[in-house]
Structure 1
Amino acid sequence: MQNIPHTPVLYREVIETFKNIDGGIIIDCTMGYGGHSSMILEANPNIELIAIDQDQTAIDFSTKRLEEFGDRISIRKGRFSSVIKDIIAEYGVEKIRGVLADIGVSSLQLDQKDRGFSYSSDNLDMRMDKEATLSAENVVNEYSTDELENILLEYGELRNYKKIASAIVNARPFASAKELSEKTKHLMPHGKKIHPATLLMQAIRIEVNDELGELKSLLQSIEDSEFCDAIVAIISFHSLEDRIVKQTYSRWSKNCICPAEAMRCTCSRDNAKGKILSKKPITAQDDELKENPRSRSAKMRIFHYER
């Protein structure tokens, strides 16, 4: 195995998920440092892999890191929800055998303080794509109180979202994540293993990058494609993402699509797109939890798309 800056989460479980794929293309929707991509290419010598990332820094790093795999690896820049449509149109559904998405901020982005993802950063940015127009600074300093309340409640699931939103509005403008964290820490939940500002940063980051919208669009693109035989594995890091994946997989696995209020089934009862391979979310093993704290909240769900 190559020496990589950070071992990707659920690395053994990802390798196990795709181990029986002996040809075709696997799409890594969230390349980052290229850890998952590298491991999949090593474990599956007969497959090709297309990796997607919207972060040019990640692309520059991983292009060099993955060059040893030659023409077996192709890297595309952009949001995975749209790029995957282009890939499917280019290669056809028959050739796509696997899709992996590690949703959320990457270790590469967290490691770079100037990207503004950390509560200790000296700026407010949080853009996964540096060319995007909306930044954390825009959200924190320009959103109305109502808009801030909505994202703090929906994306951060913070109970005292009204007080936090009011405190932000009254104390702005903010120039750094560090300043924002300090000015609001007295309102944040304490006593957990995570930093008090984590949920606040999470809510702002999700808004800046439209992360839930991206996930929904990715799942819709997969659904629209009607894959013939493909493994879909989604790794999420909080309940909002996991709920979307769980509900989508459940819908994909149903034979009957008649409305709940129907007196009797009138559909063909053969509408299932495949089967769920993980009845419960797959989580990190004890040794990984000790080595990589980020894996603590990682959950992977797997679906076998077969039509």
Structure 2
Amino acid sequence: MPHIPHIPVLLDQVLEVFAPLEEGVIVDCTLGFGGHAQALLESKPNIKLIGIDKDPQAREFAIKRLAHFKDRFSCYAGSFGEKFGAILATHGDTIKGVLADIGVSSFQLDSPKRGFGFYCDTLDMRLDPDSSLDAKMIVNRYSAYELQRVFREYGEIREYQKMAALIVDRRQKQPFESAKDLSEFLKGHFKSYKIHPATLAFQAIRIEVNDELGELKSLLKSAQDMQNAIFALISFHSLEDRLVKNALKEWSRDCICDMTAYQCTCGGGHAKGRILTKKPLVPSQTEITHNPRSRSAKLRAFAFGAKSKGNASFQSEGNNKRGGA
């Protein structure tokens, strides 16, 4: 197997969040190439870890990397949105931690055959190579209305109607065959001084291909009734972070009465636990220097079953310099 350089993002912060755990099972919902998993298994000799990943290449690498942990590590193929609920039902209260790093690895982004990058000769973007939907199908077959939805909801692109119309008009003359073709086309019609003009469009298409927000919603729904466990999630853009932030806020509500109610009638005591990160943990400047793609990462954490007033805020170099609520 070729060497795969992999830098797990926010590794120190992940270890800090899970520091209270001494035994039980941690579920790594996005195993990837096993960076976070290896660090957790090494730092916690009494912990077992279950990994989930839909990318067969990543799973193969991680399984070999973590083979020396033997019966302390196991791995499931598939999407965490589908698998986590079943794993939770099977292992129940033995699960004491859940980690999800909702991002595409540098190896995947840089691999020319995967079609994620602006200059790839393919137009794919699938994390699961067996999936029937790829980027080429979306760009060349989705209706103008469907493309508008993708660009508006997943890219938050202001000119989503113009973008969809231009793509439909161009593909009628010549279908898009590569990521390079699509990125150059968008670059020719849209201007941006901060990021590549195709950045948000590629993000939107990738989210649609892999149902990334749908999977995240499924994970949050499955996790909401956990007991005595730490839940930590790393997101890389505002759409994901907003879902996580709102879920954690809802889980921590002591009163579940309608927000417009004049007074509480539910009696309180409904909080599922407490938020561990008053503000999201973000990378230090040192980490950003070594891994520029980490700059947009945010980690939010929640402790199920922990009853306490207020939030315990983890601090890091990154948190003191960057980030927000």
Q: Tell me the TM-score range normalised by the shorter chain.
A: over 0.9
Q: Give the drift of 1:4.
A: 7.0
For structure 2, the residue ranges without an aligned partner over 5 or more in a row are 307-325
Secondary structure in 2 matching 1:91: helix
Amino acid of the residue matched to residue 267 of structure 2? S
How many residues align structurally? 301
Give the Cα–Cα distance (whole angstroms) in 1 for the partners of residues 112 and 82 of structure 2: 28
Q: State the match for 1:185 in structure 2.
A: 187
Q: Give the drift of 1:20.
A: 1.8
Q: Give the drift of 1:150.
A: 1.2
Q: State the match for 1:206 in structure 2.
A: 207
Amino acid of the residue matched to residue 190 of structure 1? S
Give the Cα–Cα distance (whole angstroms) in 1 for the partners of residues 245 and 53 of structure 2: 24
| TM superposition score normalised by structure 1 | 0.95
Give the Cα–Cα distance (whole angstroms) in 2 for the partners of residues 271 and 20 of structure 1: 24
Instruction: Tell whether the 8 Å contact from 2:53 to 2:80 is kept in structure 1 after alignment.
Output: yes
Q: Give the drift of 1:286.
A: 0.7
Instruction: Tell whether the 8 Å contact from 1:113 to 1:121 is kept in structure 2 after alignment.
Output: yes
Q: CA RMSD in A?
A: 1.4
Q: State the match for 1:97 in structure 2.
A: 96
Amino acid of the residue matched to residue 237 of structure 1? F
Instruction: Tell whether the 8 Å contact from 1:160 to 1:187 is kept in structure 2 after alignment.
Output: no
Q: How does 1:95-244 map to 2 (within 5 A)?
A: 95-172=94-171, 173-192=175-194, 194-223=195-224, 226-244=225-243
Q: Give the drift of 1:189.
A: 4.4
**Cα deviation code 1:43-77 (max 9, x no counterpart):** 11110000100111111111111111111110101
49-58 or 107-116: bigger deviation: 107-116
Q: Percent identity?
A: 53
Instruction: Tell whether the 8 Å contact from 2:186 to 2:197 is kept in structure 1 after alignment.
Output: no
Q: State the match for 2:260 in structure 1.
A: 261
Give the Cα–Cα distance (whole angstroms) in 2 for the partners of residues 71 and 58 of structure 1: 20
Q: Give the drift of 1:16.
A: 0.9
Give the Cα–Cα distance (whole angstroms) in 2 for the partners of residues 300 and 11 of structure 1: 10
Give the Cα–Cα distance (whole angstroms) in 2 for the partners of residues 155 and 133 of structure 1: 20
Residues 85/126 of structure 1: CA separation in 2 closer, same or farther (3 Å cut): same
Q: State the match for 2:24 in structure 1.
A: 24
Amino acid of the residue matched to residue 285 of structure 1? S
Q: Give the drift of 1:188.
A: 3.5
Q: How does 1:242-253 map to 2 (within 5 A)?
A: 242-253=241-252
Q: State the match for 2:67 in structure 1.
A: 67
Give the Cα–Cα distance (whole angstroms) in 1 for the partners of residues 41 and 190 of structure 2: 42
Q: State the match for 1:88 in structure 2.
A: 88
| TM superposition score normalised by structure 2 | 0.90
Q: Give the drift of 1:104.
A: 2.7
104-113 or 210-219: bigger deviation: 104-113
| 1:46 counterpart = 2:46 | yes
**Cα deviation code 1:202-234 (max 9, x no counterpart):** 0000011111111011000001xx222111111
Q: How does 1:292-307 map to 2 (within 5 A)?
A: 292-306=291-305
Q: Give the drift of 1:81.
A: 1.3
Q: Give the drift of 1:7.
A: 1.3
Amino acid of the residue matched to residue 216 of structure 1? K
Secondary structure in 2 matching 1:97: strand
